[in-house]
Amino acid sequence: MMTIFGLIMAMPLLTPMLFDGSRLWMLLPLTLGISIVYKATKLEDLRALPVAALLLWLTIVGGMIAVAIGLYILIALFQ
C-alpha cells in the first residue's frame, strides 16, 4: 500500500518529463557556467582560467554524451 507521500515522490518516475531538443541545448551554457565557477575557485593564476574552464567543460559534456550513448545502447540491447 503506497502512501500519499510515496505516490508524490514516485510521480517523476511514473510520468517522466519529456525533453525536446531546445531544453537539452540549455545544458551547454549551464555546464559552462559551472566549469568557469569551479575553476575560478581552484586556480591560483586566473590567466589560465579560460583554457582550464574550457577543458573541464569539454570533459563534462563529453562524459554526458558518453553516458547517453551507453544508456542508449543498453536500452537498445534489452528492448
pLDDT at 1: 53
Ranges 1-5, 36-40, 61-65: which has the least confidence: 1-5
User: Of 25, 37, 36, whose CA–CA distance to 64 is shortest?
Assistant: 25
* Torsion from C-alpha of 42, 46, 47, 52, nearest 10 degrees: 30
**Which cell numbers hold the place of 22?**
531546445
User: Phi, psi (5° rounding) for residue 78?
Assistant: -105, 15
Global confidence as pTM:
0.73
**For 47-67, how does the pLDDT look when each residue is reduced to its tens digit (9 = 90+)?**
999 999 999 999 999 999 999
Q: Does residue 31 contact residue 61 with C-beta atoms inside 8 Å?
A: yes
